[in-house]
Protein backbone atom coordinates (compact mmCIF):
# COMPACT_ATOMS: atom_id res chain seq x y z
CA UNK A 1 0.00 0.00 0.00
CA UNK A 2 2.86 2.40 0.66
CA UNK A 3 4.17 1.87 -2.83
CA UNK A 4 0.70 2.49 -4.26
CA UNK A 5 0.45 5.74 -2.31
CA UNK A 6 3.75 6.97 -3.70
CA UNK A 7 2.61 6.13 -7.23
CA UNK A 8 -0.64 8.06 -6.79
CA UNK A 9 1.14 11.08 -5.35
CA UNK A 10 3.48 11.21 -8.35
CA UNK A 11 0.50 11.17 -10.71
CA UNK A 12 -1.13 14.01 -8.78
CA UNK A 13 2.09 16.05 -8.93
CA UNK A 14 2.34 15.47 -12.69
CA UNK A 15 -1.25 16.58 -13.23
CA UNK A 16 -0.62 19.74 -11.21
CA UNK A 17 2.54 20.51 -13.20
CA UNK A 18 0.70 20.12 -16.51
CA UNK A 19 -2.14 22.31 -15.26
CA UNK A 20 0.28 25.06 -14.21
CA UNK A 21 2.04 24.89 -17.59
CA UNK A 22 -1.28 25.14 -19.43
CA UNK A 23 -2.32 28.15 -17.36
CA UNK A 24 1.05 29.80 -18.07
CA UNK A 25 0.62 29.31 -21.82
CA UNK A 26 -2.91 30.74 -21.73
CA UNK A 27 -1.64 33.75 -19.77
CA UNK A 28 1.13 34.39 -22.32
CA UNK A 29 -1.34 34.21 -25.21
CA UNK A 30 -3.71 36.59 -23.43
CA UNK A 31 -0.98 39.12 -22.68
CA UNK A 32 0.54 39.08 -26.18
CA UNK A 33 -2.66 39.00 -28.23
CA UNK A 34 -5.12 40.94 -26.12
CA UNK A 35 -8.28 41.24 -28.19
CA UNK A 36 -6.60 39.70 -31.22
CA UNK A 37 -5.87 43.05 -32.88
CA UNK A 38 -2.37 44.45 -32.93
CA UNK A 39 -1.73 48.06 -33.85
CA UNK A 40 1.21 48.88 -36.13
CA UNK A 41 2.97 50.47 -33.15
CA UNK A 42 2.65 47.25 -31.11
CA UNK A 43 3.86 44.85 -33.77
CA UNK A 44 6.83 42.77 -32.69
CA UNK A 45 9.15 40.94 -35.13
CA UNK A 46 6.93 37.88 -34.68
CA UNK A 47 3.63 39.62 -35.41
CA UNK A 48 5.26 41.50 -38.30
CA UNK A 49 5.54 38.17 -40.09
CA UNK A 50 1.79 37.66 -40.01
CA UNK A 51 0.40 37.35 -43.54
CA UNK A 52 -2.28 39.93 -44.22
CA UNK A 53 -3.54 42.05 -47.11
CA UNK A 54 -1.18 44.97 -47.68
CA UNK A 55 -2.00 48.62 -47.11
CA UNK A 56 -3.45 50.32 -50.21
CA UNK A 57 -3.07 54.12 -50.35
CA UNK A 58 -6.38 55.91 -50.86
CA UNK A 59 -4.81 58.15 -53.46
CA UNK A 60 -1.92 57.06 -55.63
CA UNK A 61 -0.31 58.97 -58.48
CA UNK A 62 2.51 58.37 -60.89
CA UNK A 63 4.25 61.56 -62.00
CA UNK A 64 1.10 63.51 -61.12
CA UNK A 65 -1.13 61.16 -63.12
CA UNK A 66 -3.88 59.63 -60.98
CA UNK A 67 -4.07 55.84 -60.72
CA UNK A 68 -7.77 54.84 -61.14
CA UNK A 69 -7.99 52.52 -58.14
CA UNK A 70 -11.80 52.68 -58.31
CA UNK A 71 -11.64 50.08 -61.12
CA UNK A 72 -11.30 46.58 -59.69
CA UNK A 73 -8.84 45.39 -62.34
CA UNK A 74 -6.51 48.30 -61.54
CA UNK A 75 -6.91 47.77 -57.79
CA UNK A 76 -6.18 44.04 -58.00
CA UNK A 77 -3.19 44.56 -60.32
CA UNK A 78 -1.68 46.98 -57.82
CA UNK A 79 -2.46 44.72 -54.87
CA UNK A 80 -0.72 41.80 -56.58
CA UNK A 81 2.52 43.76 -56.85
CA UNK A 82 2.18 45.11 -53.31
CA UNK A 83 1.84 41.56 -52.02
CA UNK A 84 4.97 40.53 -53.94
CA UNK A 85 7.04 43.44 -52.63
CA UNK A 86 5.64 43.26 -49.10
CA UNK A 87 6.47 39.59 -48.63
CA UNK A 88 9.63 39.41 -50.73
CA UNK A 89 11.50 40.52 -47.63
CA UNK A 90 15.13 40.19 -48.73
CA UNK A 91 14.83 42.19 -51.94
CA UNK A 92 12.59 44.86 -50.43
CA UNK A 93 14.87 45.30 -47.42
CA UNK A 94 17.89 45.72 -49.70
CA UNK A 95 15.93 48.21 -51.79
CA UNK A 96 15.23 50.35 -48.73
CA UNK A 97 18.85 50.21 -47.62
CA UNK A 98 20.35 51.00 -51.03
CA UNK A 99 18.07 53.96 -51.71
CA UNK A 100 19.97 56.06 -49.18
CA UNK A 101 23.12 55.60 -51.25
CA UNK A 102 21.85 55.88 -54.80
CA UNK A 103 18.76 58.13 -54.78
CA UNK A 104 20.87 61.22 -53.94
CA UNK A 105 22.88 60.51 -57.11
CA UNK A 106 19.87 59.98 -59.39
CA UNK A 107 17.38 62.55 -58.09
CA UNK A 108 19.33 65.70 -59.11
CA UNK A 109 19.88 64.28 -62.61
CA UNK A 110 16.17 63.56 -63.07
CA UNK A 111 15.37 67.10 -61.94
CA UNK A 112 17.99 68.65 -64.19
CA UNK A 113 16.70 66.65 -67.17
CA UNK A 114 13.07 67.59 -66.54
CA UNK A 115 12.01 64.04 -65.65
CA UNK A 116 9.56 63.49 -62.75
CA UNK A 117 11.12 62.20 -59.56
CA UNK A 118 8.89 59.09 -59.60
CA UNK A 119 11.08 57.58 -62.31
CA UNK A 120 13.67 56.69 -59.69
CA UNK A 121 11.24 53.90 -58.77
CA UNK A 122 11.40 52.65 -62.35
CA UNK A 123 15.14 52.24 -61.87
CA UNK A 124 14.44 50.21 -58.73
CA UNK A 125 11.95 48.05 -60.64
CA UNK A 126 14.52 47.44 -63.36
CA UNK A 127 17.47 46.35 -61.24
CA UNK A 128 16.85 46.90 -57.51
CA UNK A 129 19.79 49.31 -57.78
CA UNK A 130 22.29 46.65 -58.76
CA UNK A 131 24.50 46.30 -61.83
CA UNK A 132 22.78 43.23 -63.21
CA UNK A 133 22.69 41.86 -66.75
CA UNK A 134 19.43 40.38 -68.04
CA UNK A 135 19.25 37.25 -70.25
CA UNK A 136 18.58 39.57 -73.20
CA UNK A 137 21.69 41.65 -72.46
CA UNK A 138 20.08 44.68 -70.80
CA UNK A 139 22.72 46.06 -68.45
CA UNK A 140 23.19 48.26 -65.40
CA UNK A 141 20.87 50.04 -62.98
CA UNK A 142 18.68 51.20 -65.87
CA UNK A 143 18.88 47.93 -67.83
CA UNK A 144 19.87 49.47 -71.15
CA UNK A 145 20.37 47.39 -74.29
CA UNK A 146 23.54 47.97 -76.33
CA UNK A 147 21.86 49.54 -79.41
CA UNK A 148 19.89 51.92 -77.16
CA UNK A 149 23.06 52.82 -75.27
CA UNK A 150 24.86 53.68 -78.49
CA UNK A 151 21.84 55.67 -79.73
CA UNK A 152 22.08 57.84 -76.61
CA UNK A 153 25.86 58.30 -76.82
CA UNK A 154 26.97 55.81 -74.19
CA UNK A 155 30.32 54.18 -74.93
CA UNK A 156 30.15 50.39 -75.09
CA UNK A 157 33.39 48.51 -75.84
CA UNK A 158 35.26 45.56 -74.36
CA UNK A 159 37.13 47.94 -72.03
CA UNK A 160 34.45 50.55 -71.30
CA UNK A 161 30.72 50.10 -70.85
CA UNK A 162 28.97 53.25 -69.71
CA UNK A 163 25.70 51.40 -69.12
CA UNK A 164 27.40 50.65 -65.78
CA UNK A 165 28.08 54.36 -65.23
CA UNK A 166 25.23 55.46 -62.97
CA UNK A 167 25.31 59.16 -63.80
CA UNK A 168 25.72 58.75 -67.57
CA UNK A 169 23.21 55.92 -67.86
CA UNK A 170 20.67 57.98 -65.91
CA UNK A 171 21.03 60.79 -68.44
CA UNK A 172 20.55 58.30 -71.30
CA UNK A 173 17.40 56.90 -69.64
CA UNK A 174 16.09 60.46 -69.25
CA UNK A 175 16.60 61.13 -72.95
CA UNK A 176 14.58 58.06 -73.86
CA UNK A 177 11.78 58.99 -71.45
CA UNK A 178 11.60 62.56 -72.70
CA UNK A 179 11.16 61.32 -76.27
CA UNK A 180 8.45 58.92 -75.15
CA UNK A 181 6.59 61.64 -73.24
CA UNK A 182 6.76 63.96 -76.25
CA UNK A 183 5.13 61.20 -78.32
CA UNK A 184 2.41 60.10 -75.84
CA UNK A 185 1.97 63.12 -73.52
CA UNK A 186 1.65 60.58 -70.72
CA UNK A 187 4.38 59.68 -68.24
CA UNK A 188 2.60 56.39 -67.52
CA UNK A 189 2.78 55.36 -71.18
CA UNK A 190 6.37 56.62 -71.26
CA UNK A 191 7.12 54.21 -68.40
CA UNK A 192 5.42 51.35 -70.27
CA UNK A 193 7.47 52.17 -73.36
CA UNK A 194 10.64 51.77 -71.30
CA UNK A 195 9.68 48.13 -70.87
CA UNK A 196 8.11 47.17 -74.21
CA UNK A 197 9.55 49.87 -76.47
CA UNK A 198 7.72 52.62 -78.33
CA UNK A 199 6.95 50.30 -81.22
CA UNK A 200 5.33 47.89 -78.78
CA UNK A 201 3.15 50.63 -77.30
CA UNK A 202 2.23 51.91 -80.76
CA UNK A 203 1.10 48.45 -81.87
CA UNK A 204 -1.27 48.08 -78.94
CA UNK A 205 -2.68 51.61 -79.31
CA UNK A 206 -3.38 50.97 -82.99
CA UNK A 207 -4.75 47.48 -82.39
CA UNK A 208 -7.08 48.38 -79.51
CA UNK A 209 -8.04 51.95 -80.34
CA UNK A 210 -7.13 53.11 -76.84
CA UNK A 211 -4.46 55.53 -75.67
CA UNK A 212 -4.91 55.38 -71.88
CA UNK A 213 -2.49 53.00 -70.20
CA UNK A 214 -5.05 51.57 -67.76
CA UNK A 215 -7.41 50.74 -70.65
CA UNK A 216 -4.76 48.95 -72.71
CA UNK A 217 -4.10 45.22 -72.73
CA UNK A 218 -0.38 44.41 -72.79
CA UNK A 219 1.58 41.20 -72.44
CA UNK A 220 1.90 40.11 -68.81
CA UNK A 221 5.35 41.62 -68.25
CA UNK A 222 4.36 45.07 -69.47
CA UNK A 223 0.90 44.84 -67.87
CA UNK A 224 2.58 44.28 -64.50
CA UNK A 225 5.42 46.72 -65.10
CA UNK A 226 3.81 50.04 -64.15
CA UNK A 227 2.02 48.42 -61.21
CA UNK A 228 5.34 47.11 -59.96
CA UNK A 229 6.73 50.64 -60.08
CA UNK A 230 3.67 51.91 -58.21
CA UNK A 231 4.02 49.20 -55.57
CA UNK A 232 7.69 50.05 -55.07
CA UNK A 233 6.78 53.72 -54.69
CA UNK A 234 4.14 52.88 -52.07
CA UNK A 235 6.46 50.63 -50.06
CA UNK A 236 9.34 53.08 -50.17
CA UNK A 237 7.09 56.00 -49.24
CA UNK A 238 5.33 54.21 -46.36
CA UNK A 239 7.72 51.40 -45.34
CA UNK A 240 6.34 51.07 -41.79
CA UNK A 241 2.86 50.36 -43.14
CA UNK A 242 4.33 47.27 -44.81
CA UNK A 243 6.22 46.18 -41.67
CA UNK A 244 9.63 47.37 -42.84
CA UNK A 245 11.53 49.24 -40.15
CA UNK A 246 14.97 50.40 -41.27
CA UNK A 247 16.79 52.76 -38.96
CA UNK A 248 18.80 55.55 -40.56
CA UNK A 249 21.93 53.98 -39.11
CA UNK A 250 21.15 50.73 -40.96
CA UNK A 251 20.82 52.38 -44.37
CA UNK A 252 23.82 52.24 -46.71
CA UNK A 253 25.76 55.48 -46.58
CA UNK A 254 26.83 57.34 -49.73
CA UNK A 255 30.24 56.22 -50.95
CA UNK A 256 33.05 58.70 -50.24
CA UNK A 257 35.38 59.43 -53.13
CA UNK A 258 37.43 62.06 -54.91
CA UNK A 259 37.61 62.59 -58.66
CA UNK A 260 40.69 62.07 -60.81
CA UNK A 261 40.55 63.44 -64.36
CA UNK A 262 42.23 60.90 -66.63
CA UNK A 263 43.32 61.99 -70.11
CA UNK A 264 46.00 59.34 -70.76
CA UNK A 265 45.66 55.59 -70.96
CA UNK A 266 46.14 53.56 -67.79
CA UNK A 267 47.96 50.30 -68.52
CA UNK A 268 47.38 48.62 -65.15
CA UNK A 269 44.46 49.61 -62.95
CA UNK A 270 45.94 47.71 -60.02
CA UNK A 271 49.07 49.90 -60.07
CA UNK A 272 46.91 52.97 -60.60
CA UNK A 273 44.77 52.07 -57.56
CA UNK A 274 47.78 51.58 -55.29
CA UNK A 275 49.20 54.92 -56.35
CA UNK A 276 45.96 56.48 -55.17
CA UNK A 277 46.02 54.68 -51.80
CA UNK A 278 43.26 52.22 -52.65
CA UNK A 279 42.96 48.80 -54.27
CA UNK A 280 41.76 47.28 -57.52
CA UNK A 281 38.57 45.90 -55.96
CA UNK A 282 37.35 49.22 -54.57
CA UNK A 283 38.40 51.11 -57.70
CA UNK A 284 36.27 48.78 -59.82
CA UNK A 285 33.44 48.88 -57.28
CA UNK A 286 33.09 52.65 -57.68
CA UNK A 287 33.84 52.60 -61.42
CA UNK A 288 32.09 49.48 -62.75
CA UNK A 289 32.06 51.00 -66.25
CA UNK A 290 35.78 50.14 -66.49
CA UNK A 291 35.44 46.55 -67.73
CA UNK A 292 39.08 45.47 -68.17
CA UNK A 293 42.33 45.65 -66.19
CA UNK A 294 43.38 48.70 -68.19
CA UNK A 295 41.73 51.95 -69.31
CA UNK A 296 42.47 53.04 -72.89
CA UNK A 297 41.99 56.76 -73.47
CA UNK A 298 41.74 58.01 -77.04
CA UNK A 299 43.44 61.27 -78.04
CA UNK A 300 41.39 64.27 -76.95
CA UNK A 301 39.17 62.20 -74.65
CA UNK A 302 39.05 62.15 -70.86
CA UNK A 303 37.30 60.23 -68.10
CA UNK A 304 36.36 61.17 -64.56
CA UNK A 305 37.47 58.30 -62.32
CA UNK A 306 36.16 57.99 -58.77
CA UNK A 307 38.94 57.35 -56.28
CA UNK A 308 37.54 55.58 -53.20
CA UNK A 309 38.17 56.88 -49.72
CA UNK A 310 38.20 53.87 -47.41
CA UNK A 311 36.04 54.30 -44.37
CA UNK A 312 35.06 52.18 -41.42
CA UNK A 313 31.49 51.47 -40.39
For the stretch 182-195, pLDDT in tens is 999 999 999 999 99
Q: Are residues 101 and 217 in the same domain?
A: yes
Buried b (16+ CB within 10 A) or exposed e, 107-135: eebbeeeebbebbbbbbbbbbebebeeee
Domain extent at residue 281: 257-308
Instruction: Identify the pLDDT of residue 34.
Output: 46
Nearest to 152 by CA among 170, 125, 132, 134: 170
Query: At which of 250, 279, 300 does a domain end?
Result: 250
Give the whole-angstrom CA distance, residue 121 versus residue 261.
31
Helix, strand, or coil here: 265?
Answer: coil
Q: Are residues 166 and 293 in the same domain?
A: no
Q: Are strands 65-66 and 257-262 parallel, antiparallel or unpaired?
A: unpaired
Give the whole-angstrom CA distance, residue 297 versus residue 265.
5
Burial label, 250 (beta-carbon count in 10 A; 0-12, 13-18, 19+): exposed
In a domain, 19, yes or no: no
Q: Are residues 200 and 289 in the same domain?
A: no
In a domain, 200, yes or no: yes
Give the whole-angstrom CA distance, residue 158 versus residue 122.
28
Instruction: Identify the pLDDT of residue 52.
Output: 83
Q: Are residues 241 and 261 in the same domain?
A: no
Instruction: Identify the pLDDT of residue 139.
Output: 98
Instruction: Identify the pLDDT of residue 7.
Output: 40
Give the whole-angstrom CA distance, residue 296 versus residue 267.
8
Instruction: Identify the pLDDT of residue 8.
Output: 44
Averaged over successive runs of 10 residues, the pLDDT of the chain (313 residues) comes to 44 56 59 48 47 88 97 97 90 96 98 98 97 96 97 97 98 98 98 97 98 96 97 96 94 96 98 96 97 96 94 60
Strands (E) located in 71-163: none
Q: Are residues 158 and 299 in the same domain?
A: no
In a domain, 28, yes or no: no
> What total of structural domains would you count in the chain?
2
Amino acid sequence: MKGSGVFLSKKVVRVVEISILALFIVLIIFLTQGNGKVSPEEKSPATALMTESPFIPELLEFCGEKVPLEFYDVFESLERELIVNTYYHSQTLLMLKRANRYFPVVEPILKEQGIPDDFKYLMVAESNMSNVVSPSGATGFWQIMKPTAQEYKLEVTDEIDERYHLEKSTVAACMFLKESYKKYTSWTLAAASYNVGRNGVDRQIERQGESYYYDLLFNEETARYVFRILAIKAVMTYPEKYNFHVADSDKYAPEPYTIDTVSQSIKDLGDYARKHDTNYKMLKYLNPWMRDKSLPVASGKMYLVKIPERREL
